[in-house]
Amino acid sequence: MTATPRLSLPLLAAGQAQKHVTHNDALTRLDALVHLTVDSRSQTVPPAVPTELSACIIPPGATGVFSGRTDQIALFENGGWLFLTPRPGWQAWVVDEAEHNLWTGTEWRRDSPLSSLGASLWGVNGTADVTTRFVVQAPASLFNHDGAGHQLKLNKAAAGETASLLFQDGYSGRAEIGLAGDDDLHCKVSADGSAWAEALTVERSTGEVSLPATPWASGGNLLLNGDLQINQRGFAGGALAAGIYGFDRWKAGPAGATLSVAGYDLTLSAGALVQPVEPALWGLSSFAGQALTLSVEGLSGGALSVSVGSVSGSIAAGAGRRSVTLTPAAGDTGALLVSLAPVGPAVSLRRVKLEIGRRASTWAARPATLEELLCARYFWRPESSLALDAYQAAGGAVAQTLILPTRMRATPSAAFAVSGTVNVAGGSPALTVLSRREARVSVAASAVGRVEATFGSIAFDAEL
């Protein structure tokens, strides 16, 4: 053997002359390889004026005396270049990168555990790649404190990017928590890793919590009859004069409105459709300063102009539920006027919803009986006529108390028509409102005998 098996250091031969030359050569190589430092691993041209401390890892495409020596270590000594072939595990500090490098047997890699700047790839019992650069394959992982607390930080480049924790089943996403596409906190779930449902959001500036998939958890729809299925007035569609109510709780704006409803589809051809929203109905004194989101389904034909109190915005046409968030101004106290109007041509839409918060939740209709009672708080029309029929003395009266289905928001006005009268004193049929929940119908006889009157088209109105 003339050289050592690992570092190829020259060995002294028995009876060799000038032993000091061989010995000094071995020391020179040790001086270079122990705590190996190289100037660069990207310099393809040998230094013009090398010194005894000059050393390089030769990159691909090198020229001159470096040509054909890719990945070898070049050491300058005794006025010339010495080339060493690395063995797996050799390490070198690269000065111009300020990084430790490790020879794996096939490449110089910057992921040596000795690197002051960390590894570019790191796998613990697993294989890392350029996307997932840190991999831990183990039953558990622990990030412990160092004497005090501990934070796990996820940072993103911009608001539109994502910083989140993704939980997977067979490498298919099932739940995600974090900043997904904006700076609000989101919690989403998925059954297949493709379609996602947002379960919870927390608004970044106010801390408001929305539960988009659980509408009633956040109070539900502030609008009544949002699907326009309750129609006590029997409005058949068409033109509505300014301020006149058609479908329950919806009236025409200052310029009137032209609309029709087919199934759940509302077509608004001209003007504006308005609903006054009473804060007291929802236990509030005012909506001023409260972020409100108005949403509709299946908006087609063009954009929809939306006003909430004194602020306005628009919703672009498109499939699915689409929304706009508006915050009523400080002066928007009392009943809040919510207005819908086509921006250009006629628009069609379904299921109008107004809710507290900055997120639009899915549509969920209230039970029909509850929705009818809420509408009856403002307007109620009995479904049938009421007949009074009795025998009375001349001038005697017959009366019946009428109990309204719910307590109206204010003492209502009443309207009615009388038909089928028998022996009725002139002008005697009457409908008297006694309270917000009670009324009385009465009729007086003009002579002894049977007295009869039928009250039809009865309506109680306490609209805003």
Q: Any idea where the domains of the chain sit in the sequence?
A: 35-138, 162-207, 218-374, 379-461
> Quick check: 20 pLDDT over 70?
no
Spacing of C-alpha 50 from chain mean position: 62
pLDDT of residue 10: 64
Q: If you average pLDDT over residues 89-113, what whole number do you get?
A: 83
Q: What are phi and psi of 289, to 5 degrees?
A: 80, 0
Least confident of 21-30, 151-160, 326-335, 425-434: 21-30
Q: Within 10 A of 369 (CB to CB), how many other CB atoms are there? A: 9
Task: Report the chain's mean pLDDT, rounded to a whole number.
Answer: 89
Residues 329-360: pLDDT tens digits?
999 999 999 999 999 999 999 999 999 988 88
Question: Which residue's entry shows tokens 């009421």?
Answer: 386
pLDDT of residue 346: 97
Which class would CATH give 379-461? mainly beta
pLDDT of residue 411: 97
pLDDT of residue 3: 60
Residues 386-418: pLDDT tens digits?
999 999 898 889 999 999 999 999 999 999 999
pLDDT of residue 114: 47
Higher pLDDT residue, 203 or 265?
265
* pTM score, whole prediction: 0.63
- Secondary element (H or E) of residue 25: helix 19-33
Q: Cα–Cα distance between 447 and 449 in angstroms, integer?
A: 6
Residues constituting the chain:
464
What is the band of 97 on the pLDDT scale with cuts at 50, 70, 90?
A: confident
> Quick check: 11 pLDDT over 70?
no
Pick 218-374's CATH classification: 2.60.120, 2.70.98, 2.60.40, 1.10.20: 2.60.120
Q: Where are the beta strands (DSSP E) in 309-437?
A: 311-315, 318-326, 336-342, 347-356, 379-380, 386-392, 397-403, 413-422, 430-433
pLDDT of residue 299: 98
Q: If you average pLDDT over residues 35-53, what whole number do you get?
A: 88
What is the band of 124 on the pLDDT scale with cuts at 50, 70, 90?
A: confident
> Quick check: 40 pLDDT over 70?
yes
